[in-house]
Amino acid sequence: MASNDLENEVVLEVEDLRTYFSTRWGTVKAVDGVSFDLRRGETLGIVGESGCGKSVTMLSLMRLVPTPPGEIVSGKIVLQGQDILQLTEHEMSRVRGSQIALIIQDPMTSLNPVFSIGNQVNIPAAESRVKDYPHQLSGGMRQRVVGAIGISCEPAVLIADEPTTSLDVTIQAQYLKLLKDLQQQQNLALIFITHDFGVVAKMCDKVAVMYAGKIVEMGDVREIFNTPSHPYTEALLASVPKLEEDVDRLYAIEGQPPALHDLPPGCSFADRCPYVMDRCRDEYPPAFQTTGYLKAVDGISFQIQRGETLGIVGESGCGKSTTAKLLLMLEEPTEGRILFEGEDIHHTDSSHRPAYRSS
Ligand SMILES: Nc1ncnc2c1ncn2[C@@H]1O[C@H](COP(=O)(O)OP(=O)(O)OP(=O)(O)O)[C@@H](O)[C@H]1O
């Protein structure tokens, strides 16, 4: 593979992942048909209300779902070309940390209190504190130690579960910068699980919005923030306080997410949706009927000659950027061909790609 292809290669593909819990109330469909992919150097934010399945998605990716009562009932998690759901526990223990790693929310509980920092992190940056124990460090320092452990084996994918929740804003900003720098140095693919839209805006390229175990909308952060398609995304964004607006009451989405062991037929957001129609209670709206994929570019055809200039115009969110990414080979098409001088660029011998890109 040419170096450009390696830099942009897909490192993680999640396909129709389903993780259920068996409880005395019934089967809790915590993750119910989640699909996404992630390239080297890319950052995906996963957002959604409490209980929508973010943490169970993360545990599934690490294969750390408590079994029983939990079980990954179907799907694929292809990490660097290998479906980790097919690995034995022993094989998986070698993958954890070295290919996919996790930074969790509470650094105090993720560090072992009886080992000094030096025993937990073998990095020179900790030199002056190597003999300290976790309780001797500030919250920000502990979080940085946990981050350092996360990346110490240079994984391809790093998952950060609410990594900044317990930090004050200054330390938060420093910590995010540190993660960003490390990401650039190691070309890490990052997954941020967060409630904080500020973190998503600052750190992420893509965002996946989860509701009741499903990704209801996913795409480019700016496009989704500017023109959300799903009513839940719209409501979630409306509930973020805005500095420039002087309001007496903050907007909150009315009602509660449905119980995941007793999901209604149709759209699980129907009871809370301001645009609900009768048919939404029977069937999921066709526009969102995907397993996480939106049809960002849906059957376009055009030709361009040498020397010609083509303008592509349209409102935000209509698919212009995705078209450009497809042409630049930063995204793979689901179907269709892009012919450059008669050769399909996405299926050509990879040694020709740099020549295509430079022309
Ligand atoms: N061990 C378990 N047994 C039964 N149900 C579980 C278990 N762990 C998680 N669940 C259920 O799975 C669903 C998804 O939970 P999850 O923790 O993934 O939500 P979340 O989006 O991460 O929420 P939060 O933002 O509060 O962390 C919830 O309904 C939760 O009750």
Which residue's alpha carbon is nearest to atom 20 within ligand 1? Answer: 51
Whether pLDDT at 277 is above 70:
yes
Give me the mean pLDDT over the 15-37 stretch.
Answer: 92
Angle at 291 between CA 24 and CA 295, to 5 degrees: 160
Distance 266 CA to ligand 1 centre (A): 22
> Which residue is closest in CA terms to ligand 1's atom 8?
56
> What's the pLDDT at 122?
42
Bridge partner list, 43: 190
60-83 per-position pLDDT tens digit: 999 999 988 999 999 999 999 999
pLDDT band at 350 (very low <50, low <70, confident <90, very high): low
Q: Give the H/E segment covering residue 224.
A: helix 221-226
Answer yes or no: is the ipTM higher than 0.90: yes
For β-strands 26-39 and 10-23, DSSP reports them as: antiparallel
Q: Between residues 141 and 326, which one has the greater pLDDT?
A: 326
Query: Hey, whose CA ends up nearest to atom 6 of ligand 1?
Result: 21
pLDDT tens-digit map of 309-336? 999 988 666 778 788 878 887 777 888 8
Mean pLDDT over residues 129-146, rounded? 67
- Residue 291: pLDDT band (50, 70, 90) is very low
pLDDT of 123 > 50? The answer is no
- 8 A C-beta contact, residue 4 and residue 183: no
Residue 38 pLDDT: 93
pLDDT at 262 over 60: yes
- How far apart CA 297 and CA 299 sit, in angstroms, is 6
- The partner residues of 17 in beta bridges, in order of sequence, read 34
Q: Which two tokens stand for residue 128?
A: 């002056």
Ligand 1 binding residues, C-beta < 6 A: 21, 23, 28, 30, 48, 50-56, 66, 69-70, 260
357 or 269, greater pLDDT: 269
- Report CA(192)–ligand 1 centroid distance (Å): 17
Phi-psi map region of 121: left, alpha, beta (phi>0 left; psi -120 to 50 alpha): beta
* H-run or E-run covering 232: helix 231-238
Residue 251 has pLDDT above 60, yes or no: yes
Average pLDDT over residues 155-184: 78
Atom 9 (ligand 1): residue with closest C-alpha?
A: 56
Helix, strand counts (H, E) of the chain? 12, 12
Residue 82: predicted pLDDT = 93
- Whether the full predicted model's pTM is greater than 0.80, yes or no, is no
Q: How many A from CA of 33 to the centre of ligand 1? A: 16
Q: What is the mean pLDDT of residues 103-116?
A: 61
How does residue 198 score in pLDDT terms, banded at 50, 70 and 90? confident
Which comes out higher in pLDDT, residue 308 or 150?
308
Atom of ligand 1 nearest to the CA of 51: 19
Cα of 109 vs centre of ligand 1, distance in Å, is: 19
Beta bridge partners of 103: 160
Instruction: Return the residue whose CA atom lies nearest to atom 19 of ligand 1.
Output: 51
What three-state secondary structure class fits 84?
Answer: helix
* pLDDT band at residue 353 under the 50/70/90 scheme: low
Task: Report pLDDT for 340.
Answer: 85
- Tokens, residue 44: 């995906």
Among residues 208, 201, 209, 207, which one has the least CA distance to residue 232? 209
Mutational test site, ligand 1, from 17, 18, 47, 54, max ligand atoms within 8 Å of CB: 54
Mean pLDDT, the chain, as a whole number? 80
CB 59 within 8 Å of CB 39 = no
Helix, strand, or coil here: 23?
strand
DSSP 274-322: TT--GGGGTS--GGG-SSS---SS-S------TT--------TTSSHHH
- Which residues, other chains included, contact 320 with Cβ-Cβ below 8 Å and sequence gap of 6+? 312, 313, 314
Q: How confident is the model at residue 274 (pLDDT cuts 50, 70, 90)?
A: confident
Please tell me the predicted confidence (pLDDT) of residue 292. 44
Of 30-39, 61-70, 152-161, the range with the lowest mean pLDDT is 152-161
Q: C-alpha dihedral over 116, 122, 128, 133, to 10 degrees?
A: -10
Q: What CA–CA distance (Å, rounded) separates 259 from 263?
A: 6
> Over pLDDT 90: what percentage of the chain?
26
The pLDDT-based confidence of 84 (bands split at 50, 70, 90) is very high
